A and B are shown apart, each in its own frame.
Chain A
């Protein structure tokens, strides 16, 4: 999908510019495009390096585990189809907690483990179970407390208050998570 999308962006962009007759700016765009990309990537280095360092401390001190354990009872209510002592639940909470802290790279292995455990309890191996769907809805509506990449980019463009979007982003995340879980709940109960 990403391959087609990337190609489409370039082809549509170039063809449309040629039709509308902006050949001078087109050359400019093509030649400076890569430079812009490098600039962004370089600007992301400091904050990503710094934040990964801080988050490693959160991981090593078992802060992540502790946060996951606090949320486990709440989260288990969202997964009525899983067994109470299911291993999946632990991985799910760790995944959500790691995502919330912006530890994307630490979150993915937990998420894959959670899928594996849920697959063991799944009766129909090629079809998504209720618990899997709830987990992925929760995961993709993404509860991120501190969106570091966005802040880094705002910093790069000289924002007066790079961090001012944190609270609005948390509120928007809560809205989308609740909406997703609500629709998931309706569709799950409708079937039975």
Chain B
């Protein structure tokens, strides 16, 4: 199964470039144009990454979350879920950058190839910042009564989190 993951990036690159050639797109010039936009994107998110990593580091190094969630440890142990992943699951729907900072902390302390590292990677990859997206999209058309949108979105996130744990345990156990 992991071979599929290995092949997807190379195949995707070949496909996109091949398709571009076939459609007579100036692929090199277009690549440069996109790369420039990518650089601008990084430039824009640079300060927020620094700000969030700074704040998240202080919070995580105070160990308040580990101590606060100590009572959940027996349950998590049975389900084979590392405690370190909890703050990430809680923050993910609110801020993508903050959860990225937590992801970095998990990689730093436990390594990207640990169970916690893999679960956190899948978690970051499979869900989105639900609360932020809802605020942005509903705000853009001035909708104030959002009915069951938030609870349904958060329910989907919750299932995504559970699925991440189960799938990583299944794949890499």
Contacts and interface: CB of A to CB of B under 8 A. Distances in A.
B78 interface: no
Interface residues of B, number: 100
A32 B52 CA distance: 13
A179 B152 CA distance: 9
Contacts, number: 343
B160 A36 contact: no
Contact of A30 (B58, B123, B125): B58
B1 interface: yes
A78 interface: no
A53 B107 CA distance: 27
B164 interface: yes
A115 B95 contact: no
Interface in B107-121: 107-108, 111-113, 117-118, 121
B127 interface: yes
Interface in A81-110: 105, 108
A147 B128 contact: no
Given A1-B94, A17-B61, A177-B156, 4 more contacts: A25-B61, A44-B42, A180-B152, A180-B155
Interface of A: 1-2, 5-6, 9-10, 12-14, 16-17, 20, 22, 25-26, 29-30, 32-34, 36-38, 40-41, 44-45, 48-63, 105, 108, 111-112, 115-116, 118-119, 124-128, 132-133, 136-137, 139-142, 144-147, 149-150, 153-154, 156-173, 175-177, 179-180, 183-184, 187
5 contacts: A9-B98, A33-B54, A41-B50, A128-B138, A153-B107
